[in-house]
Copies of this chain bind each other. A is one copy, B any other.
Amino acid sequence: MPSGGLQNGRGYQKIKRKKQPVSQPPLFNETFYRELRLLLEWRRDVRRFWTDPLPNGLVEELVALASLAPSVGYSQPCRFVRVDDPERRASVIESYQRANRAALASYQGADADLYSRLKLAGLRESPVHLAVFCDRTTSTSKGLGRQTMPQTLQYSVVMAICILWIAARARGVGVGWVSILEPEMVTRALEFPNRGSSSAIFA
């Protein structure tokens, strides 16, 4: 069964899903489809967050939904790490600031001015940081479907992120993807085993 790992500090928790009985696939009606479209239209890359904590269990619920995402050859390489430790949160924010300064330096004139005014992260305010890693040693497939395009393993992680994003929006929770980061630095700061590459920090 698909499982998503939600790791907090050093503990590692597997989320198991119940086996579905085989039955007729459901049909989705026009009302649902219209609401789905509305959800997709209203999804945003959020940068300004309330600081209130999320309801208990909500992050786990969203990670469980994200674990339903397609993965190449059923490889399920996605690993979520919830970053609660203040020192680790600070390391991530520092990494963002360094990467952002470097990116800013590459723009000139009006572009530099515009770029410097963009608010590109909500890492301080957001109550939850979720780091997302791709586990290259995932053992649930034997490389099926990714020999000609090995990058499909990373793509599988991206699809889990995409599902988490829209599921969160359906729950009224904003998500922002912070890609202005130093992936290796974040992997070290979060002590993620040296077998993955970080994809994103979510606020």
- Chain A positions near chain B (C-beta within 8 angstroms): 20, 25-28, 32-33, 35-43, 45, 65, 68-70, 72, 99, 102-103, 106-107, 111, 115, 118, 120, 142-149, 151-152, 154-155, 158-159, 161-163, 165-167, 169-172, 177, 179-183, 199
Which residues of B sit under 8 angstroms from A107, Cβ to Cβ?
Answer: 142
5 extra interface residue pairs, beta carbon distance < 8 Å, beyond A70-B165, A103-B147, A149-B183: A26-B42, A40-B68, A40-B163, A40-B167, A107-B142
Which residues of B sit under 8 angstroms from A43, Cβ to Cβ?
Answer: 68, 70
In the assembled complex, the Cα of A172 lies from the Cα of B24 at a distance in Å of 12
A96 and chain B: residue at smallest CB distance: B148
Which residues of B sit under 8 angstroms from A38, Cβ to Cβ?
Answer: 26
Identify the 5 closest CB pairs spanning chains A and B, nearest first.
Answer: A162-B162, A40-B68, A158-B158, A159-B162, A103-B147
Q: A42-B25, A68-B43 are in contact. Are A36 and B145 (CB under 8 A)?
A: no
Q: A32-B35, A35-B32 are in contact. Are A177 and B147 (CB under 8 A)?
A: no
A172 close to B115 (CB less than 8 A) = no
A28 and chain B: residue at smallest CB distance: B170
B159 close to A111 (CB less than 8 A) = no
